[in-house]
Chain A
């Protein structure tokens, strides 16, 4: 099979629906795809659990002191259980693959957790891939 055909087969349909969780942090709007998240809990409930805890700002730089107003933890099951603590959940909405914009080529390092953007009500929402987040090593 040629690589071109392989690439084509790797595509999802542009009509594929994605459920997106929107949250707000440090003046930005972020979102994750819900299929990557197995649960959402309050950070306080993580203390007794065997889970690797990360904060969003561990791997996404804000270049200023980071505060969390209303933190909550996204549980992401990989080889181990992981919690990514993010801020201020807003809403869950559905979009289609066709409405997602890849991040412009030169904007971020390769395999950066921010992989795309959605425009909603004329505002940009940055999409975060939880698996990339766990793998990503910030310089």
Chain B
């Protein structure tokens, strides 16, 4: 029978790793302007607040994870860090698209959770006045309603601004 120390070895290893990683935590700086990263899922326009978006990647070497939910596309190695990649199409009730040259992974972070999010294309990064994002319209229903933070317009089309915190909370097991 394993000793308590042996049984808890995985937890101790994870504690060590977390201590090491805490030393290299990023310090977030608030930006004065509101940035929006506009992207598509299927043929619909969405946006994330830019202050939560860290990087945008080409999707390469995303490894699926056995036992993960359908909303997890997989994990990928980004410069030595292992990051999760979410597939939010199903979560939002949007038809999944095939991966194309325009497919991107938006790396976002909020509330100590960091993950990539698979999108069908990134359209633009906008600097907009805060008041240009209004409350989401009441006609938004279904899963989208649970994750929308507001709406705005881009090239005369409606853009639904998604709340990354709410999306991550949906996946958070803690």
Say yes or no: B16 contacts A14, CB within 8 Å. yes
Say yes or no: A8 contacts B19, CB within 8 Å. yes
Say yes or no: B173 contacts A109, CB within 8 Å. yes
Say yes or no: A104 contacts B83, CB within 8 Å. yes
Chain A interface: which of B25-33, B51-59, B63-71, B139-147?
B63-71
Given known contacts A114-B66, A124-B63, is B13 in contact with A12 (CB within 8 Å)?
yes
Q: Which residue of A lies closest to B10 (CB)?
A: A129
Does residue A35 face the partner (Cβ distance < 8 Å to B)?
A: yes
Q: Which residue of B lies closest to A114 (CB)?
A: B67
In the assembly, what is the distance between CA of A60 and CA of B2, in Å? 23
Question: CB-CB < 8 A to B8: which residues of A?
Answer: 10
Q: Which residue of B lies closest to A30 (CB)?
A: B66
What's the interface size class on B, roughly?
35 or more
Interface of B is mostly: mixed
Interface residues of B in 1-35 (CB under 8 A from A): 1-2, 6-20
Interface residues of A in 1-56 (CB under 8 A from B): 7-8, 10-14, 16, 18, 26, 28, 33, 35-36
Say yes or no: B81 contacts A97, CB within 8 Å. no
CB distance from B166 to the nearest CB of A (A): 13
Question: CB-CB < 8 A to B72: which residues of A?
Answer: 106-107
Say yes or no: B168 contacts A106, CB within 8 Å. yes
Question: CB-CB < 8 A to B125: which residues of A?
Answer: none
Say yes or no: A97 contacts B84, CB within 8 Å. no
In the assembly, what is the distance between CA of A108 and CA of B1, in Å? 27
Question: CB-CB < 8 A to B83: which residues of A?
Answer: 104
- Show 7 residue pairs from A and B whose CB-CB distance is below 8 angstroms, ordered by the A residue: A12-B12, A106-B115, A110-B173, A113-B67, A117-B75, A119-B82, A131-B7
